[in-house]
Amino acid sequence: MQGLLERFLRYVTIHTQSDDCTRLTPSTAGQLEFATILVDELKSMGLMDAHVDSNGYVMATIPANTDVKVPVIGFIAHLDTSPDFNGLHVKPRVVSAYDGSEIILNKSKDIILKTTDFPEVLNYIGQDIIVTDGTTLLGADDKAGVAEIMTAADYLIKNPDIKHGTIRICFTPDEEIGEGANHFDVTQFGADFAYTMDGSEIGELEYENFNAAGAKITVCGRSVHPGYAKGKMLNSLLVAHELMALFPSDETPTHTDRLDGFFHLLSFHGDVEKSELEYIIRDFDRDKFESRKALLAQLVNTINQKYGANTVVLELKDQYFNMREKIEPVMQIIDLAKQAMEQVGVKPIIKPIRGGTDGARLSFMGLPCPNIFAGGHNFHGRYEFVPLQSMQKAVEVIVKIAQLNLQNNL
């Protein structure tokens, strides 16, 4: 566990936030720096085929140590952290043997992880919890997953008595901006199936996720001196607010859970002449997902009918789809992960992902790829934390999956 902790604390200090404005892959230099560090570490373990390509994808192989032919398993995590909150100069801290009290993240700034706001932290009394100083995210999404895969690889290499088939490892860039699978070479990876180590709390096992789309909306106004604007000015800010008011008020992330879909306003900025809005659209049900996109187009059309053609311009792009339809024909890989969790003392929590994962797109690219917990909570914000013991269990699950893949095929 000490090696796992040291890896994670070192990884989170590397600045790897992705950026969807650069149009590069990887989108930021820090991800390539991190990838190079990981390749060096993998080679030092003895995985001499470890390499990073020009797009920042790290791949390596743990060779089989048995002659029995079994399916090739892959384990995947992503290099980048979310661009939605400050990820620069992360200062991790370990709260040893957590006692159940509020955790003061930053005394001078009065930033406190309160048990009333985040009661799930009380599930980890007595454990070692890793937090930040409250000014940044932690980056357990997904550096916990990276550290877990690296630690499991090191353990398997150092313990050849644990028999297993071929295992493939990949670390991808730009998952947080929906581009993690853009340049993933499924054929080169060569796995029959894989798991992303990218879930949240201990026990999560997920093979159903949102259908997802992104919308960019541009509102074009007309600026005139306010003293002489009657009948002439068209204030894009006010038109944008009028459009936003047409959205269903109870179908936002604040009002939805479980299998509910939503519209989420990500950003809104502008002036009288021009305003720009970004929305994401999410729904588990494919028909409802298509209906949401159609509703958005209808709302835009309503505004254009009132103010004139092209007052509002909509750019709508699908991002990923629900992997369930690709996993259900191979449910044995879910059974394998479930069996592994149970054998290492983890209760499986099988539930839909209210988010996205590289596994969704990879499943549609021909690599069935459900999602396993990495152990963290409150991703993408200052109150993010991860219990070290949850990360250790994730390592044990990886090792056990490798063992059972062989045992179940003897």
Radius of gyration of the chain (CA): 23
Active-site residue 175, yes or no? yes
The encoded tokens of residue 189 equal 């990876």
Ordered alpha helix ranges (H), 102-189: 140-158, 186-189
Q: Are 379 and 199 in contact (CB under 8 A)?
A: no
CB 62 within 8 A of CB 191: no
Tokens linked to 219: 């509102």
**How far is the CA of 239 from the CAs of 250, 301, 313, in angstroms?**
21, 13, 12
Catalytic residue (one of 154, 175, 204, 358): 175
Do 214 and 314 meet the contact criterion of CB atoms below 8 Å apart?
Answer: no
Other C-beta atoms lying within 10 Å of the C-beta of residue 308 = 12
Is the backbone peptide bond immediately before 142 cis, with ω within 30 degrees of 0?
A: yes
Q: How far apart are CA 17 and CA 14, in angstroms?
A: 9
> With the CA atoms of 144, 147, 153 and 159 taken in that order, what torsion angle do they form, in degrees rounded to the nearest 10?
-100
Tokens for 404, please give them: 């059972």
Which sequence positions are flagged as catalytic?
80, 175
